[in-house]
Amino acid sequence: MTWVKSDSRLAYSLYRGLWSGLDLLFPPVCGGCEKPGARWCSDCQGRVGILNEPVCDVCGLPQKQAGTCNACRAERPPFHSLRSWSVFENPVRNALHRLKYRRDIGLGEALAMQLAEFVRGLNWPIDVIVPVPLGKQRLQERGYNQVGMIARPLALALGIEYAPKALYRQRETRSQVGLTKIERHDHVRNAFQALGVVVDRKTVLVMDDVATTGSTLSSSAEALLSSGAKDVYALTVARALAHHMSHA
Ligand SMILES: [Zn+2]
Ligand SMILES: [Zn+2]
């Protein structure tokens, strides 16, 4: 298996090298504040809103004490744990918006470096990284899945297999803005299917850009587990906390 690792490390340095070369030709702007110079500047890095510890060891929401929160104890989510790098607020919010609408691949790579640090610290036993997919229609409109722009370089940086097609949507879902937790859950239930050949007996890291209630990740995890995945961990770049806070 050693050659696989060194092969991916070579791919990774070529990838990094390509971006450093392009930066000399076209100086980048920061995805968080649009200041020229870096794709992700040190000011923005310093302003990343880390979720306050302690968080629930399952759903990752901040709470008063360590352990599993009441909601997760009442109904355990299908994923092992969900963690997010940042609170869904600026500068990360801007950066995710930019990834979604401007296809800033270099920014995806810069953020993936930050996430790689974060994921290493979690010490999760992951075999493969799978992004939450877009529906066919949305993929056609946008032309790319913005989650993949972070998930792919993240997998490269961690030396973990990347499987962008392991999960797919069987039906389109609408925007979930304004839906309650229960409505969201019903809305995305059975929205996904997974390819057993890719995930069978593997521990999967399913990744999305933003989580609110975690219902999309729950539905993804259900699909992965019913296709034979051994366990599923969930990661998002950001966590929207408004819903949680309005109930706190
Ligand atoms: Zn910045
Ligand atoms: Zn919880």
Q: Give 16 Cα–ligand 1 centroid separation in angstroms.
A: 20
What is the torsional sign of CA 187, 190, 194, 200? Answer: positive
Query: What pLDDT, on the 0 to 100 scale, is given for residue 6?
Result: 61
177 C-alpha to ligand 2 centroid (Å): 21
Stretches where the chain sits below pLDDT 70 are 1-6, 172-174, 242-248
Query: In the prediction, which pLDDT does 3 show?
Result: 52
pLDDT value of position 36 = 92
CA-to-CA dists, residue 85 to 61, 165, 224, angstroms: 12, 24, 23
User: Whole-angstrom Cα distance, residue 30 to residue 32?
Assistant: 5
Contact 114, 39 (CB under 8 A): no
pLDDT at position 136 is: 85
Å from CA of 35 to ligand 1 middle: 6
The C-alpha atoms of residue 79 and residue 85 are separated, in whole angstroms, by 17
Amino acid at 79: F
Comparing CA positions, the residue from 201, 232, 203 lying closest to residue 219 is 232
Whether the pTM exceeds 0.75: the reply is yes
DSSP states of 148-171: HHHHHHHHHHHT-EE-TTSEEESS
Which ligand has an atom closest to residue 98 CA? 1
* Residue 234 burial class via C-beta count within 10 angstroms: exposed 0-12, middle 13-18, buried 19 and up: buried
Cα(30) to centroid(ligand 1), Å = 5
pLDDT at 247: 40
Beta strands in the chain (DSSP E): 82-87, 128-131, 161-162, 167-169, 192-194, 203-211, 231-239
Ligand 1 ion: nearby residues, β-carbon < 5 Å:
30, 32-33, 41, 44
What is the per-residue pLDDT for 4? 52
Q: DSSP secondary structure string, 37-50?
A: S-SS-HHHHHT--P
Distance (angstroms) between ligand 1 centre and the Cα of 152 equals 22
Kindly give the distance from the C-alpha atom of residue 42 to the centroid of ligand 1, in angstroms, as a whole number.
7
Ligand 2: centre distance to CA 175 (Å): 24
